[in-house]
Amino acid sequence: MNFKKITSLVIATAITAALISGCRGTTTSNIETPEELTIHMHFFDYCVYDEDWPIFQKAAEITGIKLRGTVSETISNSGQAYSTMLVENTLPDIIHYTTPSLTTLAKDGGLIPLDDLIDKYAPNIKKFFEECAVARLAATAPDGHIYFIPGSLSGVDENAIPAMGWFIRQDWLDKLGLKRPTTVQELHDVLLAFKQRDPNGNGEADEIPLFKRAGGISDILQLFDADNGWRLNKDGKLVFGQTEEAYKNAMRELAKWYKEGIIDPEIFSRGSQARDQLLSTDKGGCTHDWFSSTASYNDKYAETVPGLNFIPITPPADINGVIKETTVRGLTHGLAWGISKDNKYPEATIKYFDFWLSEEGRTLNGYGVEGLHYNVVDGEKVFTNTVLSAKEGIPTYMRNQGQVEIGTVGSLATELAGMNEIALKGFNEYRNNKYGVPPVPPFNLNEEENEIKNQYYTNLTTFMNEQQQKWLMGVETVDATWDKYIETITNMNYYEIEKIYNDAYNRIK
Amino acid sequence: MIKRKPSEVVFDTCNMILMVLVIIVSIYPLWYVTIASFSSTSAVSSGKVLLVPVEFTLDAFKQMWSYDDYAIWRSYGNTILYSVGGTALSMVLTILGAYPLSKKYLKGKKFLTWLILITMWFGPGMMPNYINLRNLHLLDSRIAIFLIGCISTFNVVLMRTFFESIPDSLEESAKLDGASHFRIMRDIFIPLSVPAIMTISLYYFVGRWNSFFWAMLLLKDKAKIPLQVVLKKLVVEMNANNSQAGMIDYTTTSRETMIYATMVIAVMPMIILYPFIQKYFVKGIMVGAIKG
Amino acid sequence: MNSTKKNGTTAQIAGDRSHINYIRIKKRMGATAQIVRDRQLYYMLIPFFIWYILMYYMPMYGIQIAFKDYKPLRGITASEWVGIKHFINFFQSPYCWRVIRNTILINIYSIITVFPLTIVFALLLNELRSKKFKTIVQTASYLPHFISTVIVVGLVISLLSPTTGIINMARDIFGAERIYFLAKPEYFRTIYIAMGGWQGIGFGAIIYTSALCSIDGCLYEAARIDGAGRFKQFLHVTIPGIMPTIAIMLILKVGSIMSLGMESIILLYQPITYETADVISSFVYRIGLESANPQYSFAAAVGLFEGVVSLMLVLLANKFSKAVTETSLF
């Protein structure tokens, strides 16, 4: 016993020394390091940990710990992968998933608290929490402990970097002699003209003026100052967008748009190939999507659709005249990893986590492996030709090399490198003018609150989304059924959920 | 030959035409998949492929060959293992159960039969089943795949009925010669029941070859996954509106013809075995029908 | 096929005669002695019943989680009892009625379409004059039954695809608008039932075909002598001949009206079609195993509800049939 105590003291001092001198990794000898740790990583329904990822292989080389994935990518549903993992007799050593789910797991005793481990062994994690208060908040469970390490997609220095932007067919505008729309009303008129004045010139009104690849009308709602999810209202109170008066107005207007043929009739079901389908056939007019990939279509379909000029535009001012963009990256990406109760090497694991937040780890995540993915030229990191010429696009390529959302701080480099001039121009315009609306900072529900949420939340949001489709498609009119709608969501305990969200939010304010 | 009335001729002709339609409807979808898998992607997506392969190519098969580190072939091997091994296990257990239960003189027969018959009308449900497998430490295990659905009570009843139809006199005389129950079963009853055994094996085999649900739920290790689960992923991807697609900037590629190619190799064993087994299952159903 | 059956019957009679001796022997022995004598038979049953215990009776123990708040990390015993909370939640949830309605409707639609079509197909097949052609039709029509659900669903998805599916391409040619059928709730049940019909009608007809085969040829002969034409024979001999089989099959169908396998549903539906596609079993699967916040106990409760109602329906249907048609399952 005494001996153990002394050793741990020694380790602690050694670590402190290491911290002070700023060197890395020389004191590991006293901690039992396994060769392999198991990890559960399956998110977004298709990102699944793969041992062949060069980025993680490099990390294994540096840290001496190889990760072995416990879930196969043949499971096409992340929720199923996660919930069936929970029932297993032994949990994997490392569990990676969304922060709300991990919070629940921690409460049930599936994750171990990391506070002491971080203090003792993880200077980089400590530093990360110091430099990024939001990350610390995101990681802190209702009981005050830290159970998982969150991460950031594109750095922690700048909040609300835009993710998506508005794209429109400039060639159609020119052909019809229209100006770029600057307000929601102008956007409506332009799109209506797209529908009625046959910009593709095939004699049929087969144009789909406004389409979306995913998310239905969520992003379009911002034009009406409405929202599809939680946001802060004028009084600083958290409300669910689909219960607000602004949403009611938005749905009334959008139903009109839908009826006029402006909105893609298949907006909820078009699917991930929407841009390919509608741009290659010269039918799509306007969308709201990621800069990098959307800007690539002009080249991709230059031959099929001569003159295709699909470019980003300044967000049309919303009904209140505000120019803004609500799809932004939060400081944290919402995914995290933690150490499970069955992990036999918590010290080694926390050191592994810590590696990813060191300079070396951040670079590895942000740029990949030196020599393979990037080279240093004149002190600047430059992507190799293999990366730059990846035909699936650089972000997708790098993702398949292991650049995924883990507990580290990534960089914008990959995305910027993948942007052509069109994308860069749009992105920089949005970024420099600070159109991005900062998202609600992350907060965690406590045990009881979580219980209530789990009981009602899914049913409630499903109901709301179904109702949204009915209104949009004109099955019911929003004015006739709004009161009934509010009554139903009240019965479905919406206000109870709103209250617990605000309680939780107020705790971090 | 009795001369047919004109109305009968009309009826027979209509009937023939209708039946030809049935043949086409039954076979065409599979034919379409086959020709599409040998055609170029562009020909398939532009709708040119209708009756024969257009722009003949083996690209789909090449793509399938190396898809995800040969996942298709690994899973193909697993499917064969689960189907062949599983069917053998199922048959052994089914015969071992059906044989004693076919004996009228077996003490407690009624109670024992009732114990298995009840499973046909009431089951514990998906969640208790899943949790039970967890408690047995059978998650992510090949054993679980062999055990799930290993015995079908319906097949036991079929088998038992068939054994009951074999004359007791044969058993009587063997008994007089001092043969044990086990020997009687092995040397007399099993050889006489080959058609029934073939039919029931076929039911088990087809069921196992085609099942995906529990394998999908239980297996996480790539090395253990059967073909239908891989196919399920490909098929669902084809239909999916990935709700998460907009979360990150990620592009997907269409793999339609590759999916067709995979389907072709997945049905292949069935199609090859089909002519041989076809005659058996008609007899097999007869076994059931006689009882009903 | 007929001859096999006749042989069986004769043999059966012979067997019954010898059985009389056996019973006499049996009567002289005590129960224990009999068990000892037949111990080999009981040994055979051991592995068989071990399987039933492992895979059927042990899960029965887990049914209690429907009345608990099951937490995997705590195990069944340590999880809290909550009574019928989950059942109440289910009955109060807006999805309760939806999943029950969808389950029943899909089954009813299938009973009024696929079920009679199967019989009609068997009857038409029976009327074919050429034996060879009959075999060809049979062979072709059984084939879909042997194709896995996954592949059949894959076929349906690709045939109906809005961009590359032949159905939509055909619509295009005729100037009709392309429709993404699988994303339209109003088409879901039709697609699902048609799919089931494609897979099941041919194979399902076997049972009627064999029933038709077993109708005694003398009856037709007699009808012919009475001057009955083909249609009259059909009406007065064929139909009554297969009536018991139809009755049995109908009981089975009605008895299982509350249950519907989720395997093809979960491959075919999307959130947008839940309104018409979500059935009890797919709902159980989704909330119990597919969700990132799995509600194991709630799902188990819904599953138990389905099981109990189904059981009652089977018993009822059986009783009803016994009373009305004098045919029953047990």
Backbone angles phi, psi at C103, to 5 degrees: -60, -50
CB contacts < 8 A, A to C, total 61
Where do the domains of chain C lie?
A: 93-325
Q: From chain A, pick out residues whose CB is under 8 angstroms from the CB of B252.
A: 272-273
Report the residue count for chain A. 509
* Burial of residue A465 (number of CB atoms within 10 Å: 0-12, 13-18, 19+): middle
Measured between CA atoms, the residue of chain A closest to residue B213 is A75
Of A70, A76, A269, the CB nearest to B236: A76
- Interface partners of chain C (CB pairs < 8 Å, 3 or more) are A, B
Q: How far is B73 from chain A (nearest CA, A)?
A: 14
Q: How far is C76 from chain A (nearest CA, A)?
A: 12
- How crowded is residue A320: how many other Cβ atoms within 10 Å of its Cβ? 10
Q: What is the pLDDT of residue C46?
A: 95
Task: Say if strands A36-43 and A47-48 run parallel, antiparallel, or are unpaired.
Answer: antiparallel
Q: How far is C256 from chain A (nearest CA, A)?
A: 28
- In chain B, count H helices and then E strands: 15, 0
Chain A residues whose C-beta sits inside 8 Å of any chain B C-beta: 44-46, 52, 70-76, 78, 80-81, 84-85, 87-89, 164, 212-215, 268-273, 289-290, 292-293, 392-393, 395-396, 399, 415
How far apart are the C-alpha atoms of A364 and A55, rounded to whole Å?
7
Q: B96, C18: Cβ pair inside 8 Å?
A: no
Measured between CA atoms, the residue of chain B closest to residue C214 is B290
Could you tell me if B111 lies within 8 Å of chain C, comparing CB atoms?
no
Q: A83, C272: Cβ pair inside 8 Å?
A: no
- Interface partners of chain B (CB pairs < 8 Å, 3 or more) are A, C
Q: What is the pLDDT of residue A16?
A: 36
* Burial of residue A9 (number of CB atoms within 10 Å: 0-12, 13-18, 19+): exposed
How far apart are the C-alpha atoms of A196 and A189, rounded to whole Å?
10
Q: A395, B249: Cβ pair inside 8 Å?
A: yes
Distances (CA, A) of A153 to A17, A156, A295, A405, A445: 31, 8, 21, 7, 23
Task: Say if strands A164-169 and A310-313 run parallel, antiparallel, or are unpaired.
Answer: antiparallel
**Mutation site, C65, C73, C76, interface A, largest A CB count within 10 A:** C73
Distances (CA, A) of C127 to B226, C116, C238: 43, 17, 11
Q: B250, A399: Cβ pair inside 8 Å?
A: yes
Q: How many domains does chain B have?
A: 2
Please state whether A407 falls in left (phi above 0), alpha (psi between -120 and 50) or beta: beta
* Burial of residue A351 (number of CB atoms within 10 Å: 0-12, 13-18, 19+): buried
Instruction: Give yes or no: residues B160 and B194 share one domain.
Output: yes
Instruction: Give yes or no: residues B259 and B129 share one domain.
Output: yes
CA C284 to chain centre: 19
Q: B68, A269: Cβ pair inside 8 Å?
A: no
User: Following CA atoms B29, B34, B37, B38 in sequence, which dihedral angle do they give, to the nearest 10 degrees?
Assistant: -140
pLDDT tens digits, residue range C176-211? 777 888 878 899 999 999 999 999 999 888 888 888
Q: What is the pLDDT of residue B239?
A: 61
Divide the 292 residues of chain B into consecutive groups of 10 and give the mean pLDDT of each group.
76 92 92 90 77 88 82 91 96 96 90 91 88 90 94 91 88 88 92 86 89 89 90 74 54 73 88 75 54 40
Taking Cα atoms as reference points, which of A129, A104, A102 lies closest to residue A115? Answer: A129
How far apart are the C-alpha atoms of C8 and B29, rounded to whole Å?
41
Q: Which residues of chain A have pLDDT under 70?
A: 1-30
Instruction: Give yes or no: residues B176 and B235 share one domain.
Output: yes
Q: B23, C147: Cβ pair inside 8 Å?
A: no
Q: From chain A, pick out residues whose CB is under 8 angstroms from the CB of B133.
A: none
3-state secondary structure of A374: strand
**Mutation site, B220, B231, B252, B259, interface A, largest A CB count within 10 A:** B220
Could you tell me if B236 lies within 8 Å of chain A, comparing CB atoms?
yes
Task: Say if strands A284-290 and A208-210 run parallel, antiparallel, or are unpaired.
Answer: parallel
Measured between CA atoms, the residue of chain A closest to residue B248 is A290
Backbone angles phi, psi at A218, to 5 degrees: -45, -50
Contacting C residues, span 79-108, partner chain B, CB-CB under 8 Å: none
Q: How far is A24 from chain B (nearest CA, A)?
A: 33
Q: From chain B, pick out residues whose CB is under 8 angstroms from the CB of C120.
A: none
Could you tell me if A461 lies within 8 Å of chain C, comparing CB atoms?
no
Measured between CA atoms, the residue of chain A closest to residue C286 is A80
Residue A258 tokens, joined: 């839908």
Measured between CA atoms, the residue of chain C closest to residue B90 is C48
Q: From chain B, pick out residues whose CB is under 8 angstroms from the CB of C210.
A: 282, 285-286, 289
Q: How far is C88 from chain B (nearest CA, A)?
A: 18
How far apart are the C-alpha atoms of A9 and C48, rounded to whole Å?
60
Q: Which CATH class is domain C93-325?
A: mainly alpha
3-state secondary structure of A242: helix
Q: C293, A458: Cβ pair inside 8 Å?
A: yes
Could you tell me if C141 lies within 8 Å of chain B, comparing CB atoms?
yes
Instruction: Give yes or no: residues B73 and B98 share one domain.
Output: yes
Alpha helices by DSSP H, listed for A289-436, are 291-294, 297-300, 346-357, 359-367, 385-388, 394-399, 413-417, 421-432
Within a domain: B150: yes
Instruction: Give yes or no: residues B165 and B30 share one domain.
Output: no
Q: From chain A, pick out residues whose CB is under 8 angstroms from the CB of C183.
A: 266, 268-269
Chain C residues whose C-beta sits inside 8 Å of any chain A C-beta: 71-74, 89, 93-95, 162-163, 180, 183, 270-272, 274-275, 287-296
How far apart are the C-alpha atoms of B223 and C127, rounded to whole Å?
51
Instruction: Give yes or no: residues B123 and B210 share one domain.
Output: yes
Q: From chain B, pick out residues whose CB is under 8 angstroms from the CB of A330.
A: none
- Please answer whether residues C127 and C239 qualify as being in contact, where contact means their C-beta atoms are separated by less than 8 angstroms: no
Distances (CA, A) of B76 to A74, B211, B263, C216, C280: 14, 13, 12, 47, 32
**pTM of the predicted model, to two decimals?**
0.83
How far apart are the C-alpha atoms of C87 and C301, rounded to whole Å?
6
Could you tell me if B11 lies within 8 Å of chain C, comparing CB atoms?
yes
How far apart are the C-alpha atoms of C161 and B67, rounded to whole Å?
23
Domain that holds residue B177: 67-291
User: Following CA atoms A268, A273, A279, A284 in sequence, which dihedral angle do they give, to the nearest 10 degrees?
Assistant: 0
What 8-state DSSP symbol labels residue A97?
Answer: E
Q: What is the pLDDT of residue B282?
A: 61
Instruction: Give yes or no: residues B92 and B47 share one domain.
Output: no
Of B15, B116, B241, the CB nearest to C270: B241
Instruction: Give yes or no: residues B30 and B175 share one domain.
Output: no
Instruction: Give yes or no: residues B28 and B98 share one domain.
Output: no
**How far from each other are the two terminal CA atoms of chain B, in whole angstroms?**
35
- Please answer whether residues A382 and A394 qualify as being in contact, where contact means their C-beta atoms are separated by less than 8 angstroms: no
Give the residues across from C80 on adjacent strands. Answer: C69
Q: C94, A459: Cβ pair inside 8 Å?
A: yes
Q: B241, A395: Cβ pair inside 8 Å?
A: no
Q: Who's near A6: CB < 8 A, 6+ residues apart? A: none
Q: Which residues of chain C have pLDDT under 70?
A: 1-28, 163, 325-330
Q: Rg (Cα) of chain C, in Å, rounded?
A: 26
How far apart are the C-alpha atoms of A447 and A465, rounded to whole Å?
27
Instruction: Give yes or no: residues B46 and B71 share one domain.
Output: no
Instruction: Give yes or no: residues B37 and B73 share one domain.
Output: no
B/e letters for B248-282, b = 16+ CB within 10 Å, e = fewer, are: bbbbbebbbbbbbbbbbbbbebbeeeeeebbebbb
Give the position of tokens 């000898």: A29
Task: CATH number of the domain at B128, please.
Answer: 1.10.3720.10
3-state secondary structure of B227: helix
| ipTM reported for the complex, 2 dp | 0.87
Q: B241, A268: Cβ pair inside 8 Å?
A: yes
**Which H, E and C letters describe chain C, residue by residue?**
CHHHHHHHHHHHHHHHHHHHHHHHHHHHCCHHHHHHHCHHHHHHHHHHHHHHHHHHHHHHHHHHHHHEECCCCCHHHHCEECCCHHHHHHHHCHHHHHHHHHHHHHHHHHHHHHHHHHHHHHHHHHHCCCHHHHHHHHHHHHHHHHCCHHHHHHHHHHHHCCCCCHHHHHHHHCCCCCCCHHHCHHHHHHHHHHHHHHHHHHHHHHHHHHHHHCCCHHHHHHHHHCCCCHHHHHHHHHHHHHHHHHHHHHHHHHHCCCCCCCHHHHHHCCHHHHHHHCCHHHHHHHHHHHCCCCCHHHHHHHHHHHHHHHHHHHHHHHHHHHHHHCCCCC
Q: From chain B, pick out residues whose CB is under 8 angstroms from the CB of C206.
A: 281-282, 285
Q: A97, C293: Cβ pair inside 8 Å?
A: no
Could you tell me if C78 lies within 8 Å of chain B, comparing CB atoms?
no
Of C73, C270, C292, the CB nearest to A101: C292
Instruction: Give yes or no: residues B49 and B80 share one domain.
Output: no
3-state secondary structure of A476: coil
